[in-house]
């Protein structure tokens, strides 16, 4: 029973870490230097600040959700 609960925690943690990493890249790297998968714009030297902040917030929310799911108590059956 406990093993089934670990899958959402692990998935939420991995998603949160990936989102945090992408958010930091968006906040620190100029648009023209971004990898092709992240959408580079030739000639644009400013980082994508708004998108970076949104992605960092989503990453923190995913990590918080994973932590909440990991710490919650399993439901108990009522006494008959």
What's the pLDDT score for residue 4?
Answer: 60
In tens, the pLDDT along 6-44 reads 888 899 999 999 999 999 998 888 888 877 777 767 777
In this structure, are residues 27 and 49 in contact, taking their beta carbons and an 8 Å threshold?
yes
Distance between CA atoms of residues 32 and 11, nearest Å: 31
Model confidence at 59, pLDDT cuts 50, 70, 90, reads: very high
Distance between CA atoms of residues 76 and 45, nearest Å: 56
What's the pLDDT score for residue 18?
Answer: 95
Q: For the chain, which residues make up each domain, given as ranges?
A: 2-71
Q: What is the pTM of this model?
A: 0.77
Model confidence at 1, pLDDT cuts 50, 70, 90, reads: very low
Sequence-distant (6+) residues with CB within 8 A of 53 are: 23, 27
């Amino acid at each position: 029973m406990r093993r089934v609960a670990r899958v959402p925690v692990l998935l939420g943690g991995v998603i949160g870490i990936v989102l945090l990493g992408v958010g930091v890249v968006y906040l620190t790297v100029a648009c023209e230097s971004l990898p092709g998968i992240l959408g580079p714009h030739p000639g644009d030297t400013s980082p994508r600040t708004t998108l970076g902040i949104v992605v960092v917030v989503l990453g923190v929310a995913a990590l918080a959700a994973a932590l909440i799911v990991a710490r919650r108590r399993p439901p108990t059956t009522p006494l008959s």
